Structure 1
């Protein structure tokens, strides 16, 4: 059986398409909840959620909280299993206005997820969170102002 160059190209594309589909999961981890103005001058935190079928290695990933003109980076590590939460905490010394956008960046600095600008000026137990957990339609309506549920499923 002789392969033509067209057949060879098709085989090449199919092979690398399958490799891409079977590669490490990168797009299944989302910013699920964020506390940008913690009560009693507490520490800001961001909760991630893995909505995919595979564990994701977070080594080298970062969470960036941008509260202009200030910005803070939280280095991540370890792995997040499917259906699980991962809480990244900022520094106790961080003082934020409560108006901010949160970014999730992979080890190459590529933005994997981003929240809309959030406003949480009250230093209350309320946070911005996705409902249901992991919902990602890239619409502002993915997030609700709700009672915080750090590391737990969100409820509205």
Structure 2
């Protein structure tokens, strides 16, 4: 209790001369008119927070990934069956797939049934998936054009 009383007396003794000089200071020096805040009777104000940095870009929307995955699985199933529907593809890609569909279909058949599919990334609007077949793991890229047609479709084996 005595320590608290002593501390209060010291604070008043230090603050009183400062307040007195601040009242007389403007006549001598206008810049000295500023007062120190009274931190003993009012809580100190928090310093201003810096502006919040912009949020990082949002991850790809789940519906876009789901749409790409559904389209990819349909393409794989069609290629394996040998009955390819070319309507989801851009004209350029449809022409390229027509040339290679029997070879790709035979290869996919050798890979076996799909065991798992996992979305890996979405660089520059192209979705990258890992598709694990029974006999082979692969990475697929699928991308859509402005008309929402498949304009990019690539795959490669994943070395294990």
TM beyond 0.5? no
Q: What is the TM-score when the length of structure 2 is the normalising length? A: 0.27
Q: What is the TM-score when the length of structure 1 is the normalising length? A: 0.27
> Of the two, which has the highest radius of gyration?
2
Name the structure, 1 or 2, with higher relative contact order (CA <8 Å, separation 6+): 1
Judging by fraction of residues, say which structure has more strand. 1
